[in-house]
């Protein structure tokens, strides 16, 4: 190698700025390990890979510490080579599975972290490692579906905060001079432990406050939504409905009431048996990430036979998609002005029926299959939904509101006829319908009147007597039972709507579930299984209605649909707190938190409303909020500015100069003498010396705390100078007394 | 307050929020919130660290330029919370009025410097004590209401009277994500005397020495032998001078007084008008003038000549009769540059203070605007030695505007006036001793002595 190039190479590879702090290395190592564990806990990659990475990272940290003072050229070359291999692997995976780049990205970061750990000689390398561990943790966070990730985040904080502290010590030491002598103390380990614990608590608490206040802007979402890896399925002979909770489910309602399995909802089947009685356990079934809360619709039923609802008797059509997504069409539905888009991703937790859940009217579906089925009851999966399945849906949703009250058009069209059909009903049911339906009103008003009647005359209850044989379920609910659960209310509402000339159908699915403000997911449990009604309004389309008392359609402005989740967060915190409190306190705590949450919601809603209608109002509010810190800063700055006057330093300095000059003339002040005494003595020593006004100025500045103005300071100095000249002259002329 | 690390955390948080919005990943919002929280807490911690602190500085009140000054900083905490990783930065006395905020940043090293450090040619260059400029010290822990003290040596001090230069407190908190600094005024007075050379000769003074040239190891010419009279006793008077007869008669101690031998008076006129030049040039050139003056005063004063120092302050001439050499050093330490364009006018004011029979040593700053008018207006003197300080040589690139005669000295015809004794040129880096002992041009009647 030529001399110059060799010299350059030597310089380039020379180890420099080596980090010697072992605690810093250990803390960074711990942070990296926690981030790897976080990734492993989210099951992003296999456990064996994570364990391998943990071992390699630990080895790498030890190795780079041992060899930190060496050039390590061969190691650097090997690292570069393996990094290229990892990059090639990443690109290959992206090419093979372009839908969700997070998994290959996670693996790439994982390997880069492992390789980087073998070359960490300097502080900046370690800091880079710390930063990349934050990125790994964030990647794990993007996969996290439960609030338990909080523990991992806390563990990471516990490792990263000391790392930052040790980095800071190391940096400051390198930048500071070493005093010749010093009397300083070092904090004890116990003290630092307490400080770090306090910091973790404070940072977490403030972080929660900030997280709750960060506006969740709904911006453009990713073009490809997440879904599980594609499963290869060849088209079967046709759709066969399956529900793992009801393995021997007949295609038609049996003669006797269906025996309810408490671990599966009986409504996810080709029929909805209104004779079934029983309660469901509260086990998680899925988590839904949605741009706003909604009901997760499963199956729509068309025909009522007196004791159960049946899906339309039709063969589901297979929908094929070689490339994702599936584009779902609803040819008979007309375009609606009130439609708005809801993007949802479903993370299935338990085994479910072969029903593809989606908010109201799905239009785009990312589903891990080459084909799905579609009929008038909804979308069907070619296989039962199982734990770990992920799919995404973009739906068009219509939120019912008062604006539909003015739509004064009766529904027409052949495709609606099945939804207007009613079987032969007992006369008292027809009489009741005649009584409660306001015939002169618009369809929406008629439906509202029926809903109001049901809500005001019937109670929601899961404890209802069995339906006697031969009885009509609707008649029994309206006139005998007096209370019922969602299927009964939905049946009554749908049939009464049909009697009022409004096309209606009963729908089963899941209610919204509990919103988790940490994961931004709706945690849906089996107990959220629900039945509701869709009515058809001409010019609008199918509109979701909730006739069951104690249930209400989700507010699109709450939960994931709101700009701020502070209210939901407070509500969630209240629920968590009340769950650990004695039962006597629970309701009070829940109510208190609920009130605070409503207050927060109202505040943010008002803000949002004023943004829309009077933009100047929140701006004024913001201005007033900012005004206080601005005023504080301005006042602080003005305090910092030197005053127009001169402080006592000038007076002291003038006096010191005067005394120094006198000293040089042989007139010294005794240490015990005050300024006043000395000047008095000076007046006796040199006749004609008058320094009383200067003395007053000096004493006012020195002891009175009254700073001198510039002209006063000048006058003081001039007075002293004049006195000095006079003393000097007097001394030369020998006119001093006694001196 | 915030700096690159804060900005990085902020950008990372915003990136997480944007990805969170785009991918609907709730945890990304919370992780971003944790990062923002850490940033905010770090901001508050660093703010808390630098508030409610007091500092006292202890050192000798007087020191020479060439000496190292031992400074002890006593830091006291008045807050209710402990402080960690607090940096105390003692500023340079000359930065007293500087309002710059404290910054702690490693000096960027070139690749060559780094390599040299690796090879051990240059030791790791931390802010060593004594280095000119700010000196940072780390206090790892300062308990609530506790105190700490740090002692270090500062060298490279420049002439001047410093009235309480500030100390800075700097903190990046425990986490180092944000920083704050505070400035604390520290009342301490320091007089830095100008450095002076002990001359073995100074031609101007030597030319008017008493024929019985005195050895220079005498501190003063001492008390003469001629009886002058009696006076009252003053503390310090030797008992052997007590006039016992008069004492007995008057009832109080009376001593005999003898005439002092008085040499020829010397006036040192120092030009401190630098109006149009930058602070740095002025400071260094005036320091050199003060050193030249101190060297001359030292020689002349201990040779027994009454010395007067003349300069101007606040546009007025100031005359200082040197009582002791230390007083002269103190006076020179307080010499400050004067502002204003009317330089020649001010010199006329200074000339009025000159006594006709005095010997004059004129230390004149050559600011590149000519000095012919200034020297021409000098009143008639017995002897004048002109020392020209080349101000331009003190500027950044070291260029000089002053044309020094090389080799051959000017002829006798060029002597501006009869009393003009010699001319010396002084520029940055020149040896003061050589400059004063061997003037560049010496007018010796009609025989100028060139260098």
Does the pLDDT at position B210 exceed 50?
no
Exposed / middle / buried, residue A298 (Cβ in 10 Å: 0-12, 13-18, 19+): buried
pLDDT of residue B293: 94
Q: Which long-range contacts (CB under 8 A, 24 or more apart) does B59-64 make?
A: B59/B188, B59/B190, B61/B189, B61/B190, B61/B191, B62/B190, B62/B191, B62/B192, B62/B193, B62/B330, B63/B157, B63/B190, B63/B191, B63/B192, B63/B193, B64/B192, B64/B193, B64/B194, B64/B195
pLDDT of residue A206: 95
Higher pLDDT among residues A11 and B147, named by residue = B147
Query: What number is the average pLDDT over the span A587-593?
Result: 87
Does the pLDDT at position B131 exceed 60?
no
Q: Where are the strands (E) in B91-187, listed by range?
A: 135-142, 147-154, 160-163, 167-171, 180-184
Higher pLDDT among residues B135 and A529, named by residue = A529
Query: What number is the average pLDDT over the span B399-421?
Result: 54
Q: Which helix (H) or strand (E) holds A548?
A: none
When mean pLDDT is compared over A251-265, A573-587, B29-43, the highest value belongs to: B29-43
User: Contact at 8 Å (CB) between A310 and A376?
Assistant: no
Q: Do B150 and A153 touch (CB under 8 A)?
A: no
> pLDDT tens digits for A165-196?
999 999 888 888 888 888 888 899 999 999 99
Does the pLDDT at position A266 exceed 50?
yes
Beta bridge partners of residue A17, listed in sequence order: none
End-to-end CA distance of chain B: 60
B29 shares contact with chain A (CB less than 8 Å): yes
Tell me the average pLDDT of chain B: 78
> pLDDT tens digits for A638-688?
665 544 445 567 788 888 888 888 887 778 887 778 888 888 888 777 777
Two structure tokens written together for B263: 């040499």
Does the pLDDT at position A594 exceed 60?
yes
pLDDT of residue A334: 65
pTM over 0.80: no
pLDDT of residue A213: 85
pLDDT band, very low/low/confident/very high, at B125 (cuts 50, 70, 90):
very low
| A108-122, A225-239, A370-384, B312-326: least confident range | A225-239
pLDDT of residue A155: 96
Nearest to B126 among A175, A203, A222 (CB): A175
Return d(Cα A679, Cα A698) in angstroms, integer: 12
Mutate to test the interface with B, among A180, A218, A636 (most CBs of B within 10 A): A180
Which residues are CB-neighbours of B87 under 8 A, at least 6 positions away? A172, A176, B102, B104, B136, B137, B138, B139, B169, B170, B171
**What does the angle CA A444 – CA A447 – CA A448 come to, to the nearest 5 degrees?**
85
**For residue A453, how far is the Cα from the chain centroid?**
41
| A531-540, B40-49, B300-309, B334-343: least confident range | B334-343
pLDDT band, very low/low/confident/very high, at B100 (cuts 50, 70, 90):
low
Does the pLDDT at position A722 exceed 50?
yes
ipTM entry: 0.78
pLDDT of residue A294: 92
pLDDT of residue A644: 46
Supply the DSSP symbol for B267.
Answer: E
Could you tell me which chain B residue has the CA closest to the CA of A225? Answer: B23
A222 shares contact with chain B (CB less than 8 Å): yes
Cis peptide preceding A212, ω within 30 of 0? no
Interface of A with B in 675-714 (CB under 8 A): none
pLDDT of residue B277: 62
| A2-16, A149-163, A274-288, B357-371: least confident range | A2-16
Return d(Cα A546, Cα A531) in angstroms, integer: 9
Two structure tokens written together for B217: 């190891």
User: Contact at 8 Å (CB) between A686 and A734?
Assistant: no
Does the pLDDT at position A53 exceed 90?
yes
Which residues are CB-neighbours of B375 under 8 A, at least 6 positions away? B362, B364, B386, B416
pLDDT of residue A719: 86
Tell me the average pLDDT of chain A: 85
Which residues are CB-neighbours of B175 under 8 A, at least 6 positions away? A161, A164, A165, A168, A199, B38, B41, B42, B45
End-to-end CA distance of chain A: 87
pLDDT of residue B450: 35
Interface of A with B in 485-524 (CB under 8 A): 516-521
> pLDDT tens digits for A123-153?
889 999 999 999 999 999 988 888 899 999 9
Tell me which chain B residues have a C-beta less than 8 angstroms from the C-beta of A199. 41, 174-175
| A251-265, A453-467, A634-648: least confident range | A634-648
Closest C-alpha to A364, from A222, A234, A241: A222
Give Rg (Cα) of chain A.
Answer: 40
pLDDT of residue A221: 53
> pLDDT tens digits for A84-95?
999 999 999 888
When mean pLDDT is compared over A95-104, A163-172, A315-324, A644-653, the highest value belongs to: A163-172
pLDDT of residue A603: 81
pLDDT of residue A232: 47
Q: Do B26 and A165 touch (CB under 8 A)?
A: no
Exposed / middle / buried, residue B449 (Cβ in 10 Å: 0-12, 13-18, 19+): middle
Q: Do B25 and A141 touch (CB under 8 A)?
A: yes
- What SS3 state is found at A346? strand
pLDDT of residue B43: 92
Return d(Cα A631, Cα A425) in angstroms, integer: 76
User: Contact at 8 Å (CB) between A464 and A474?
Assistant: no
Return d(Cα A341, Cα A292) in angstroms, integer: 9
- Give the CA-trace dihedral at B158, B159, B163, B165, to 10 degrees: -10
- DSSP per position, B362-376: EEEEE-SS--HHHHH
pLDDT of residue B412: 41
User: Contact at 8 Å (CB) between A349 and A286?
Assistant: yes
Two structure tokens written together for A161: 């905060």
Chain A closest-CA separation from residue B377 CA (Å): 27
pLDDT of residue B280: 63
User: Contact at 8 Å (CB) between A84 and A67?
Assistant: no
- What SS3 state is found at A311? coil
The values of phi and psi at residue A614, to 5°, are -145, 85
């Amino acid at each position: 190698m030529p001399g110059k190039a060799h010299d350059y190479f030597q310089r380039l590879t020379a180890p420099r700025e080596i980090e010697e702090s072992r605690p810093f290395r250990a803390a960074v190592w711990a942070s990296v390990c926690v981030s790897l564990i976080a990734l492993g806990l989210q099951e992003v990659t296999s456990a064996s890979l994570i364990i391998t990475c943990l071992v390699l990272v630990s080895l790498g940290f030890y190795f780079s510490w041992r060899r930190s003072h060496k050039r390590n050229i061969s190691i650097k070359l090997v690292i570069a080579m393996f990094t290229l291999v990892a990059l090639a692997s990443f690109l290959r995976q992206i090419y093979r599975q372009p839908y969700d780049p997070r998994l290959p990205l996670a693996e790439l970061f994982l390997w880069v972290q492992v390789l980087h750990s073998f070359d960490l000689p300097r502080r900046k390398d370690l800091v880079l490692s710390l930063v990349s561990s934050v990125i790994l943790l964030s990647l794990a966070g993007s996969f996290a579906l439960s609030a338990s990730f909080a523990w991992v985040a806390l563990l990471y904080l516990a490792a990263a905060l000391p790392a930052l502290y040790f980095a800071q010590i190391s940096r400051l030491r390198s930048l500071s001079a070493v005093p010749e002598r010093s009397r300083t103390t070092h904090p004890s380990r116990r003290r630092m432990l307490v400080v770090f614990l306090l910091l973790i608590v404070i940072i977490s608490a403030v972080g929660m406050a900030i997280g709750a206040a960060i506006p969740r802007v709904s911006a453009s979402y990713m073009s490809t939504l997440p879904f599980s890896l594609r499963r290869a399925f060849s088209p079967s002979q046709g759709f066969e409905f399956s529900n793992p909770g009801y393995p021997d489910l007949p295609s038609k309602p049996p003669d006797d009431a269906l025996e309810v399995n408490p671990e599966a909802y009986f409504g996810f089947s080709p029929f909805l048996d209104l004779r079934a009685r029983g309660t469901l356990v509260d086990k998680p079934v899925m988590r839904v990430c949605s741009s706003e809360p909604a009901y997760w619709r499963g199956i729509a039923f068309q025909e009522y036979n007196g004791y159960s609802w049946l899906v339309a008797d039709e063969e589901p059509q297979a929908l094929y998609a070689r490339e994702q997504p599936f584009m779902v069409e609803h040819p008979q539905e007309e375009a609606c002005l009130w439609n708005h888009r809801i993007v949802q991703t479903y993370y299935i937790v338990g085994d479910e029926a072969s029903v593809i859940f989606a908010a109201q009217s799905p239009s785009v579906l990312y589903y891990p299959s080459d084909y799905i089925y579609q009929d008038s009851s909804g979308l069907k999966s070619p296989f039962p939904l199982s734990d770990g399945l992920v799919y995404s849906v973009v739906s068009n949703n219509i939120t019912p509101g008062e604006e539909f009250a003015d739509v004064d058009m009766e529904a027409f069209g052949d495709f609606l006829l099945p939804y207007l059909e009613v079987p032969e009903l007992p006369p008292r049911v027809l009489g009741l319908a005649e009584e409660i339906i306001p015939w002169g009103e618009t369809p929406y008003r008629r439906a509202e009147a029926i809903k109001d009647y049901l809500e005001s005359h019937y109670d929601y209850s899961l404890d209802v007597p069995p339906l006697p044989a031969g009885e009509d379920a609707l008649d029994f609910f309206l006139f005998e039972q007096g209370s019922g659960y969602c299927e009964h209310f939905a049946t009554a509402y749908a049939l009464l709507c049909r009697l009022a000339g409004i096309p209606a159908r009963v729908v089963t699915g899941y209610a919204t579930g509990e919103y988790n403000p940490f994961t931004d997911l709706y945690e849906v449990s089996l107990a959220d299984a629900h039945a509701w009604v869709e009515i058809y309004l001409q010019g609008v389309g199918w509109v979701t209605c909730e006739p069951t008392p104690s249930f209400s359609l989700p507010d699109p402005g709450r939960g994931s649909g709101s700009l701020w989740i502070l209210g939901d967060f407070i509500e969630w915190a209240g629920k968590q707190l009340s769950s650990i409190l004695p039962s006597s306190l629970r309701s009070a705590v829940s109510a208190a938190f609920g009130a605070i949450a409503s207050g927060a919601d109202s505040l943010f809603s008002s803000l949002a409303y004023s943004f829309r209608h009077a933009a100047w109002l929140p701006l004024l509010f913001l201005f007033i909020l900012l005004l206080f810190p601005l005023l504080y800063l301005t006042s602080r700055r003005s305090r910092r500015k030197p005053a127009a006057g001169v402080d006592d330093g000038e007076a002291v300095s003038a006096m010191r100069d005067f005394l120094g000059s006198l000293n040089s003339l042989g007139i010294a002040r005794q240490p015990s003498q005050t300024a006043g005494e000395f000047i008095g003595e000076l007046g006796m020593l040199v006749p004609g010396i008058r320094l009383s006004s200067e003395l007053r100025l000096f004493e006012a500045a020195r002891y009175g705390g009254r700073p001198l103005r510039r002209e006063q300071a000048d006058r003081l100095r001039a007075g002293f100078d004049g006195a000095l000249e006079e003393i000097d002259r007097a001394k030369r002329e020998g006119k001093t007394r006694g001196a | 307050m915030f700096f690159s690390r804060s900005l990085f955390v902020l950008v990372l948080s915003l990136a997480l929020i944007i990805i969170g919005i785009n991918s609907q990943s709730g945890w990304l919002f919370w992780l971003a919130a944790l990062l923002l929280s850490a940033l905010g807490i770090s901001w508050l911690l660093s703010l808390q660290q630098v508030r409610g602190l007091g500092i006292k500085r202890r050192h000798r009140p007087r020191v020479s330029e060439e000496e190292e000054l031992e400074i002890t900083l006593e830091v006291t905490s008045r807050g209710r919370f402990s402080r960690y990783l607090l940096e105390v930065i003692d500023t340079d006395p000359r930065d007293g009025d500087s309002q710059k905020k404290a910054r702690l940043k490693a000096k960027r090293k070139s690749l060559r410097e780094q390599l040299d450090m690796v090879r051990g040619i240059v030791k790791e260059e931390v802010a060593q004590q004594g280095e000119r400029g700010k000196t940072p010290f780390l206090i790892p822990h300062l308990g609530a209401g506790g105190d700490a003290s740090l002692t270090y040596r500062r060298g490279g001090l420049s002439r001047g009277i410093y009235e309480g230069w500030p100390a800075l407190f700097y903190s990046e908190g425990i986490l180092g994500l944000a920083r704050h600094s505070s400035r604390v005024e520290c009342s301490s007075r320091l007089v830095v005397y100008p450095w002076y050379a002990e001359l073995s000769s100074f031609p101007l003074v030597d030319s008017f020495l008493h024929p019985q040239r005195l050895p220079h190891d005498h501190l003063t010419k001492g008390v003469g032998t001629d009886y002058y009279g009696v006076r009252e006793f003053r503390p310090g008077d030797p008992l052997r001078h007590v006039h016992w007869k008069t004492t007995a008669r008057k009832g109080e101690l009376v001593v005999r007084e003898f005439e002092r031998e008085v040499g020829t008076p010397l006036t040192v006129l120092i030009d401190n008008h630098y109006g149009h030049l930058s602070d740095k040039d002025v400071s260094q050139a005036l320091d050199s003038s003060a050193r030249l003056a101190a060297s001359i005063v030292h020689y002349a004063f201990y040779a027994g000549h009454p010395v007067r120092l003349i300069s101007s302050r606040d546009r007025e001439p100031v005359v200082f009769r040197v009582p002791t050499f230390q007083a002269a050093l103190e006076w020179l330490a307080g010499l400050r540059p004067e502002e204003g364009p009317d330089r020649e006018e001010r010199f006329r004011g200074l000339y009025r203070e000159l006594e006709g029979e005095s010997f004059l040593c004129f230390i004149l700053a050559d600011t590149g605007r000519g000095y012919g008018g200034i020297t021409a207006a000098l009143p008639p003197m017995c002897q004048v030695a002109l020392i020209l300080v080349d101000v331009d040589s003190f500027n950044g690139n070291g260029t000089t505007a002053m044309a020094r005669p090389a080799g051959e000295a000017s002829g006798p015809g060029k002597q501006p006036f009869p009393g003009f004794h010699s001319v010396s040129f002084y520029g940055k880096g020149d040896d003061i001793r050589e400059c004063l002992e061997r003037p560049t041009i010496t007018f010796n009647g009609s025989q100028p002595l060139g260098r």
